[in-house]
Structure 1
């Protein structure tokens, strides 16, 4: 499996670890199986590099779960998870009747996930599409039953930092073109301020050595989807609210403070 795909195993290993905690932010009973030995080995390297163990993945997982619950409550029944990796939300979340969840990722990742999950049934209609996001995935998505006239919730989790800026802009242009009024886009962004922060250096070095360097950062995440209404949250604010962040968030008006962002944007 290629380096970027291995990050999906790493995320699954972190979710499995979190699910064992008494004060867990979520429970993912599929994560241990999906992570496998390769994911647990990647997690060991990650923990060694990131001595502070800042719970970014744990916090953002809970945030996405809650944002998806809001979309579900508003009547959205079509969801697209881009670069889905070993995400198990189609299996572990409660979905309304008639919900379709499209998962896109590289074919080898889709196949590995199918092998790991075996005969387990999703809690919705799940459509898995093996395809590189650099290809014409919108055409394939529609061929698989996606309805561009229906409200859609888009999930872009843990992806943008691996892309060049042009690819990020192209990705959001495609999302915009496929989205009916009332659609929602959920995404997280590493601030350029955070990429430049000395405390992140060890983690960035580990990701380069893994072959999946973080190359995109942005401190104006709302601008990535123009003409959408975006609610931007500092991940440290959410982490502190849930009593799982190791330090207080930077003041909102502190210019240049290192931040990560969680964005819920509506069209």
Structure 2
């Protein structure tokens, strides 16, 4: 099996682990030492996602990813990829993060294009170490809101400030979005929408809601509260939801971490008020990005099976699926019969 088949770059030099100089700065080391010492698993997952963008840089351009990930997360993922390469694994560590990132990037751009240049907002719930406001040109006419824990947003702001003020780095890290508002809130609580509106969110504006790597950390009631809140906005303005959902077998991957699941999100979301829903799985034509060539990798093997199957008929292993879902609604759009 070639490097290309499992998503890696053909150039062997891509895999060399090189840290940017800024990672060794005392101010940066201090921030990451506090992250390692004080943050829980959910908060640290933000740095793991940044590491995925950093180490899959042959397909994702994110100059801030290394800095936001930190040395510990970069080394950890690098070791996993190194092990996968030596074992000639069909599913390389981080490939899901890469495909998922590229899918969300492309769907955000598509949603904003569908607004035909009208005033728009993009809300990143559980934004973590997301850098789209700095790297996606499609956001230049949009107001961006990042909602997450206060200590996470503060650490991220501090790291980006260090990068921007660096005499060697700042030209790579200028904000592209029309505006960027960071909203400190726990999305599991009932007051996050109020805090979002206090930060300038306008309910009447066309809005793209991005829930990347978020819902499955919630309880069922917490996840439904968030989805229902967003669905209600379809009665006010053109609303697009982009989210990833785990099916039930996927939650068994880590019983203490993953809770919410939905085997049929394309049925759930219309019942909440969305008039159009499109579901993809990793490896589908719009969720491939040249990283899923091997027909025998886990994702390609599972997506060819009926979604109702919970275990694979060949080996009895759980059919763990990650659904990438785009849903939309508008007061001007009649429901699909």
TM-score tier, shorter chain, comes to 0.7 to 0.9
Deviation at residue 44 of structure 1 after TM alignment: 5.4
Distance 1:97 1:218, change over 3 A: closer
Give TM-score scaled by structure 2 length: 0.68
Matches within 5 A, 1:70-89: 70-75=110-115, 77-89=120-132
Q: 1:164 aligns with which of 219, 222, 225?
A: 219
Distance 1:48 1:216, change over 3 A: farther
Number of the residue aligned with 2:68 = 34
Distance in 2 between the 1:87 and 1:115 partners? Answer: 14
**Which blocks of at least 5 consecutive residues in structure 1 are unaligned?**
none
Quick check: 1:90 aligned with 2:145? no
Number of the residue aligned with 2:264 = 220
More moved, 78-87 vs 31-40: 31-40
Matches within 5 A, 1:1-267: 1-19=39-57, 21=58, 24=59, 26-43=60-77, 52-53=91-92, 55-75=95-115, 77-95=120-138, 97-118=140-161, 119=164, 120-124=173-177, 125-135=179-189, 136-179=191-234, 180-196=236-252, 201=253, 204=254, 208=256, 213-225=257-269, 226-228=272-274, 229-238=276-285, 241-245=288-292, 246=294, 247=297, 248-249=300-301, 250-251=303-304, 253=306, 255-256=308-309, 258=319, 259-267=321-329
Secondary structure of 1:114's counterpart equals helix
Deviation at residue 236 of structure 1 after TM alignment: 2.9
Deviation at residue 97 of structure 1 after TM alignment: 4.7
Q: Is the 8 A contact 2:122 2:210 kept in 1?
A: yes
Runs ≥4 residues deviating over 6 A: 48-51
Alignment RMSD (CA, Å): 2.4
Deviation at residue 256 of structure 1 after TM alignment: 1.1
Secondary structure of 1:218's counterpart equals coil
Give TM-score scaled by structure 1 length: 0.85
Distance 1:164 1:46, change over 3 A: farther
Greater Rg by CA = 2
Distance in 1 between the 2:198 and 2:263 partners? Answer: 36
Distance in 1 between the 2:229 and 2:79 partners? Answer: 35
Distance in 2 between the 1:158 and 1:187 partners? Answer: 8
**Which blocks of at least 5 consecutive residues in structure 2 are unaligned?**
1-38, 165-172, 311-318, 330-337
Q: How many residues align?
A: 251
